[in-house]
Amino acid sequence: MVQEVTKSVKHSGGELVERPFIRVVYQSGLPTEVGVNGCRIDDVVNVAIDKLQFYQDGPLACEENAEAIRYLKLAKQSLAHRIQRRIDQGVWNTMEPHSDSRTEDENDDFSATGA
């Protein structure tokens, strides 16, 4: 496979990413501060799911499409978990990083076997 060059530039406030046959404008900055100027990663994942589902609903249905849809939905779940963690840590809608360490299990007394 040929490595495609990604071009990334500001575009009307958003970040324009171009590759052969695709242009995506991602949100740049917080919508509460700069307004909506592009899409989110979730939006791009949804477009891919929709296209694969279109194939699944027609004569091109196959296990590989179904598997790709499952993984894309898993990606959406991971992004939703990230949002929830940012909310829980009080950094949602800020440019502050959230902590990757999970503290909800640190004080629980349990064994790996569940006993």
Strands ordered across the beta sheet of 7-11: 7-11, 14-19, 22-26
- Chain segment 78-99, per-residue pLDDT in tens: 999 999 999 999 998 888 888 8
pLDDT of residue 2: 46
- Maximum pairwise Cα distance, the chain: 57
Q: Which of 76, 102, 74 is nearest to 88 (CA)?
A: 102
Residue, of 48 and 6, whose pLDDT is higher: 48
Nearest to 99 by CA among 115, 113, 86, 80: 86
- Give which of 2, 46, 47, 42 is closest to 22, Cα–Cα: 47
Residue 49 has pLDDT above 50, yes or no: yes
Check: CB of residue 81 under 8 Å from CB of residue 92: no
Joined together, the tokens standing for residue 15 give 């970040």
Spatial distance between the Cα atoms of 78 and 85, rounded to a whole number of angstroms: 10
